[in-house]
């Protein structure tokens, strides 16, 4: 029987519960895929490293691409091809245009 820390955030609890973890591993965070922090459905939660998470959320800042992982870049490329613009990353049109020039 796993005993959970009482001060865990709901999204952390949900993730741990469904993945049979006692706590979120050190250096990792739970990301809300649809960027809606109130949507704590397990399908919306993703475990990622602090570094990846920061990169993901900084991606619309000026120099964010320096910190971006291969995986995120792959995802961006796919979304550019599919024409899914700000859906996941909530980017402005200008930033997407810049990314498109870089990656296509």
Binding region for Zn ion (CB under 5 A): 31
Percent helix, percent strand, percent coil in the chain, to nearest 5: 50, 10, 40
Q: How far apart are CA 13 and CA 32, in angstroms?
A: 13
Nearer residue to Zn ion within complex by CB, 13 or 97: 13
DSSP code, position 44: G
Q: Measured from the CB of residue 71, what is the shortest distance to Zn ion in angstroms?
A: 15
Which residue, 8 or 100, is less far from Zn ion as judged by CB? Answer: 8
Q: Which of residues 87 and 102 has its CB atom nearest to Zn ion in the complex?
A: 87
Min dist CB 15 to Zn ion, Å, is 12
CB 58 within 8 A of CB 64: yes
Rounded Cα distance, 46 and 72, in Å: 13
In the complex, residue closest to Zn ion by CB: 31
Q: Smallest distance, Å, CB 104 to Zn ion?
A: 26
CB of 45 to Zn ion, least distance (A): 10
């Amino acid at each position: 029987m796993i005993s959970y820390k009482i001060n865990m955030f709901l999204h952390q609890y949900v993730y741990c519960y469904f993945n049979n973890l006692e706590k979120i591993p050190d250096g990792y965070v739970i990301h809300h895929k649809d960027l809606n922090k109130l949507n704590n459905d397990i399908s919306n939660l993703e475990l990622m490293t602090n570094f990846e998470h920061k990169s993901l959320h900084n991606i619309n800042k000026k120099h964010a691409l320096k910190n971006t992982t291969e995986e995120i870049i792959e995802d961006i490329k796919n979304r550019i091809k599919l024409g899914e613009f700000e859906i996941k990353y909530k980017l402005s049109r200008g930033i997407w245009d810049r990314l498109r020039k870089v990656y296509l």
